[in-house]
Structure formats: structure tokens, C-alpha cells
Amino acid sequence: MNILEIKNLNVVYETKKNAFGATQKVYAVNGINLEIKKGEILAIAGESGCGKSTLAKALMKLVDISSGEIILEGTNILNFKDKELKDFYKKIQMIFQNPYSSLNPKMKIGQILAEPLEINTKLTKKEIKKHILETLEKVGLDESCLNNYPHEFSGGQRQRIAIARALMLNPEIILADEPVSALDVSIQAQIINLLKQLKQDYNLTFLFISHDLGVIKYLSDRVAVMYLGEIVETGQTEEIFNDPKHPYTRALLSAVPELNSKTTDLIELTGELPSPENLPMGCKFHTRCPFVMSVCQTDIPNSTNFSNTHKCHCHLYK
Ligand SMILES: Nc1ncnc2c1ncn2[C@@H]1O[C@H](COP(=O)(O)OP(=O)(O)O)[C@@H](O)[C@H]1O
Ligand SMILES: [Mg+2]
């Protein structure tokens, strides 16, 4: 069952005025179609600047959506107002990359965790305390942290607190935007294993954004590869890692030797990511693709299915 469906989603930012008063359009998310199934961890992979955070912010309604639909449990969230919107924010929660800035430095952990329940539920003080203690235990913390401020904790502990806060209202889906990228490598594995455990315990759905393919391979059930605001390939994690089809996916994998068994298929990713202010015509990857053909420069590739779950947009597979 799909919990979330994204249909032809576009997000266009406008840059600040330059010295001459002119602004520029930034095409950050371009016609994305994607489903997230209940109980899965769907990873969004792609290099920095390809629009991953913008996609997550769009799903949280934190940025203006230029066009498209976001369907949560059958209803388009873009029409939500007042009560519907309040209910929506109980169902969807976000964890950010930087636990240093995502927790209010002036609030004690007890207040940070109680706040969502005080605003959104009619629970008594005692019930709130009980729920907080249960949730702290789930994320590997205990009562002793309640009277401390965020700055008194390590990065890993702070991310545990941010995860606990995200869990307070029993959400359906958690958007995790590079949740371990700011942490020491030794701590990353602990947090990743915690997310895995929470998925099992609560039957949670995760949209997991990362530029780290090693982490994605370990954690996710399914992967969507994003390039310049588009999804270029989707598949089960094994399909993406064992049989990547899109030259961009292959190039990303080629850059991580420990994930690569086939040394014959390596593709080096050359050149810079083009600016989303000035998108290439045709296939957006054609300016960096070693297999570029003339059709790639003019025509947007349709999708080719390799299995029920594995598909890719590339003219090589016509
Ligand atoms: N508020 C904004 N105004 C203008 N451009 C933005 C804004 N936020 C992000 N961008 C641009 O949109 C593109 C996608 O950014 P982002 O979604 O943060 O990518 P990622 O998370 O994959 O690194 C980048 O070129 C970025 O500079
Ligand atoms: Mg980002």
C-alpha cells in the first residue's frame, strides 16, 4: 500500500535580487513521480545540489510547490488548511542533518519532548511524562537527560533526542535528511541501527535522504536516484546495487570501490553538476554522460521497466 504518492512535483525557487534587481529561477525539483509504501525505507540518493532536501521540504510543505500533487493516504496535502494541516503534521515528521541546530538551545530536553504533546494532544502531565520516558528508552536514552540543554550532549545523543521528538506524536512517516552526515563515523552506525530498529518496532515508513551509498545499501529497502531535480532510476536496493542501469547511478557506484564488485563497468563522473538555473535540454545528464547520443541532447527519455520494481529513464534502453 502506498502511504505517500508524489505526482509530477515541481519546485522552482527564485533567487534574491542581484545588483541590477534581477532574479533568476532555480529549477530544484522537476516533475518527480514517486510512491512511498507503508513500512518501507525509501532512500533518495544523489550528489549534493541535486534537489534532495528540496523534495523533503516540499513533502513537509516547508517550501512553495510550483505544481503537482502530494497524496498522503489518498488526500492531496496541498489543499490542507487549519485542522487538516495540524493533523497532517502529526502524521509526518522530519529529522535534519544537523542535530546542533534542529533543537532549540534554550529549551531543556524535557520541554523539547513535551511540547508536541502539549500542543497536539489532551494528555495529562503524568501521561506526557510516561510517554516521554517510554520514547527515551526506545532511542537509547533515559530520564537523566530531561533537565539538560541540547548543548550538554554529544552529536549522536542530540540526534537521538531529535529522533525521540520526531516519534512523540506517533507519526506515520519520517523524513530523514542526511541524519548521520554530521556525525562521527563511529556514531553513524549506532544511529542507523536505531532507525532500523524503530522501523521494525513501530512499522514506520522512512524517506531516507543521503549522499552516502554505503549507508543507503545497509539501511534501505528501495532506492530512488535523483539527478538535477529528477528521479532517473528506482529499484529495490539489490537491483540498484547489483544491476544499476542509469549511467549516473553507475557513476555514483563507481566512486565507492567497496560497493563495486564489477571493476569492468566503472564509469567516472566528470564535470560539474550543471546549475539548476539553466537546465540542460533533453536528458539532463547528457552533458556528463560517457554514452551520450544525439537523441539525448534533444529528447527527454521515457521510463524503461526492468522488473516490476526496477525502472530507469535513459535512451540507452530504447
Ligand atoms: N531557498 C532557495 N533559494 C534558491 N535556491 C535554492 C534554495 N534552496 C536550495 N536552492 C538550490 O536548489 C538546488 C537544490 O538544493 P537542495 O535541495 O538543497 O539539494 P541537495 O539537498 O540535494 O543538496 C541547489 O542548486 C540549491 O542551491
Ligand atoms: Mg540537502
Domain ranges of the chain: 2-226
**Quick one: how far is CA 68 from the chain centroid?**
18
The ligand placed nearest to the CA atom of residue 181 is 2
> What pLDDT is recorded for position 56?
97
pLDDT attached to residue 261: 66
Q: What mean pLDDT comes out for the span 207-223?
A: 95
Reference 278, options 315, 244, 229, 237; nearest CA is 229
Summarised one tens digit per residue, pLDDT across range 84-111 is 998 999 999 999 988 778 899 999 999 9
Provide the angle, in degrees to the nearest 10, between the axes of the packed helices 125-138 and 109-120.
120
- Global pTM reads 0.95
Least confident stretch, 200-204, 224-228, 295-299: 200-204
How far does residue 27's CA lie from ligand 1's centre (Å)? 9
| 251-294: pLDDT as tens digits | 999 988 888 766 667 888 888 999 999 999 999 999 999 999 99
Largest CA distance in the chain: 68
- Its CATH class, for the domain covering 2-226, is alpha beta
- Closest to 215 in 3D by CA, of 310, 97, 69, 85: 97
Residue 224 Cα to ligand 1 middle (Å): 18
Query: Mean of the per-residue pLDDT values for the chain?
Result: 94
Q: Ligand 1 within 6 A of 79 CB?
A: no
Cα separation, 214 vs 71, in Å, equals: 30
- Residue to substitute in 10, 29, 32, 53 for testing ligand 1 pocket (most ligand atoms within 8 angstroms of CB): 53
- Alpha carbon of 99 to ligand 2 centroid (Å): 14
d(CA 167, CA 174): 9
**Is residue 157 very low, low, confident or very high in pLDDT (cuts 50, 70, 90)?**
very high
* pLDDT for res 168: 96
How far, in Å, is the centroid of ligand 2 from the Cα of 255?
A: 19
How far from each other are the two terminal CA atoms of the chain, in whole angstroms?
30
* 167 Rama sector, left if φ>0, alpha if ψ -120 to 50, beta otherwise: alpha
